Amino acid sequence: MVDQAVTESSVPVGFNLVLPPGWDKINLSEESMNDSILAVVDRSIAQLPEGLPKDDVSKVRMELFKQLRKAARKAARANGLSLYLPVERVRNTVLPASFVVSEPISAKGEGFESGQVLGALAADSANSEVVDIDGSLTTRLERVVPPPANSEMTLASRRVEYVLPLPGSSYPRWLAITFSTVGDGDPESEYSSALVDLFDAVMMTFRWSYQ
């Protein structure tokens, strides 16, 4: 899968990711969000069992669109460019996980240094390490985030963020890709860890794309 989220003449034009079966992507730009969501909904509806009453299919379509749009708008408000999430059911349930590609982080300007930016990000994480992604040293951050105050969400989530340096940029820039899951309600459970492992495996397929 190619994402054209990164543009600058001296840097990659996008990137490739191999998604797990049953996952899809939503573009978060305001002009293409609805069309992107509708395309995901159509692909999901096409997988429903044949013979379902039209009224039931319509209800499923409307509810799925509503849920996806809510998730997409939340990701867009957090400077997201693309939202990736599972849309096919596994054992009659949708995996409680997603990840977002965000606007590149920039250290352009007087007084900003690469180490300071990455240090600030690592300070907010329980675990941080440096890993190799497509031949570049990438910062991987992991933490457990409590549910927001005064929110419908009551479960803590497990977050993993990869901060990738943009090759060829004239000043320090990084692409942030953030995964989140509530797992089975316990962010430290084997199930939650398995979903994190799945995301880590996806990130190992990451490759920059060039013109």
The fraction of the chain above a pLDDT of 90, given in percent, is: 46
User: Residue 191's domain spans which residues?
Assistant: 2-209
Domain count, the chain: 1
CB 165 within 8 A of CB 180: no
DSSP 118-129: HHHHHHT-SEEE
**Model pLDDT for residues 61-71, shown as the tens digit of each residue:** 899 999 899 99
Predicted pLDDT at 46: 80
pTM of the predicted model, to two decimals? 0.83
Strands (E), the chain: 2-3, 14-16, 23-27, 80-86, 97-102, 105-106, 127-133, 136-145, 157-165, 173-181, 207-209
The CATH number assigned to the domain holding 40 equals: 3.40.1000.10
**Model pLDDT for residues 161-206, shown as the tens digit of each residue:** 999 988 887 778 889 999 999 999 898 999 999 999 999 999 999 9
